[in-house]
């Protein structure tokens, strides 16, 4: 398999941000989707709620890998088991680990592996409001996102909430890597475009987000 490091390919919308439109061809998307479906049999999508208010998020979630991100009235956290089934998260599939090694920009022999793969599912009306990802102890490792299904209108801002932002149409098969100065950038999903992809028979969008949580 060829390597495609962020320094030599893809677009660079902000320092430390790398966008690889069309990184995965249709066959790779279908193969990854089937791995996701298999995970969701063991670890079904759950409905996260906001800390304090208990208001449901519009996105549904699951995870694979040693740790998974969950949110409920107790707060946000990483934990090793599904909040409803209490079962350990399924292993990260090889396809996901291969994508990390090709696109994360982390060079051998560092071999820093992702510990969490958050699976977000967006139905037609789901959104994700502007936020920072800072629940990880290791904020030096990049975050890698994989889009499958309908197009998302993704917003990438700066290090402060009010900073100017850029909007991207993330399509099925796109990979986005956020490292360096962009690791703590505000970001969100304004909406998806229902019916813009034929990948998911039920419509909507999966986003897989690979993260290092603990300092290696």
Determine contact, residues 18/11, Cβ cutoff 8 Å. Answer: yes
Partner from Fe ion, ligand MD3, none contacting 172, C-beta within 5 to 8 A by type: none
User: Judged by CB, which is closer to Fe ion: 133, or 138?
Assistant: 133
Cα(16)–Cα(183) distance, integer angstroms: 7
Q: Which stretch binds Fe ion (CB under 5 A): 34-42, 62-70, 125-133, 145-153?
A: 125-133
User: Judged by CB, which is closer to ligand MD3: 109, or 154?
Assistant: 154
> Closest Cα to residue 45, out of 64, 28, 65, 32?
64
Binding status of residue 133 toward Fe ion by CB under 5 A: yes
Partner from ligand MD3, Fe ion, none contacting 63, C-beta within 5 to 8 A by type: none
Cα(87)–Cα(92) distance, integer angstroms: 15
Residues 103 to 122 in contact with ligand MD3, rule: CB under 6 A:
118, 120
Binding status of residue 175 toward ligand MD3 by CB under 6 A: no
Residues 118 to 157 in contact with ligand MD3, rule: CB under 6 A:
118, 120, 128, 133, 143, 145, 152, 154
Q: Is 193 exposed, middle or buried (0-12, 13-18, 19+ CB in 10 A)?
A: middle
Determine contact, residues 160/142, Cβ cutoff 8 Å. Answer: no
Residues of the shown chain interacting with Fe ion in the complex, contacts defined by CB under 5 A:
133
């Amino acid at each position: 398999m060829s390597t495609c490091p962020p320094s030599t390919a893809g677009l660079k919308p902000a320092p430390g941000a790398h966008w690889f439109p069309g990184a995965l061809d249709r066959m790779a998307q279908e193969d990854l989707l089937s791995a996701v479906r298999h995970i969701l049999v063991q670890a079904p999508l759950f409905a996260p709620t906001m800390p304090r208010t208990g208001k449901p998020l519009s996105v549904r979630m699951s995870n694979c890998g040693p740790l998974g991100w969950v949110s409920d009235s107790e707060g946000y956290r990483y934990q090793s088991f599904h909040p409803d089934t209490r079962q350990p998260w399924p292993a990260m599939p090889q396809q996901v680990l291969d994508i990390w090694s090709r696109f994360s920009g982390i060079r051998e022999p560092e071999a820093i592996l992702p510990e969490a793969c958050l699976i977000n599912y967006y139905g037609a009306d789901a959104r994700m409001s502007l936020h920072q990802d800072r629940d990880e102890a290791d904020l030096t490792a990049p975050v890698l996102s994989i889009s499958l299904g309908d197009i998302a209108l993704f917003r990438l801002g700066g290090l402060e909430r009010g900073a100017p932002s850029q909007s991207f149409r993330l399509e099925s098969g796109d990979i986005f890597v956020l490292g360096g100065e962009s690791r703590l950038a505000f970001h969100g999903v304004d909406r998806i475009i229902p019916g813009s992809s034929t990948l998911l028979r039920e419509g909507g969008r999966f986003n897989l987000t690979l993260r290092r949580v603990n300092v290696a």
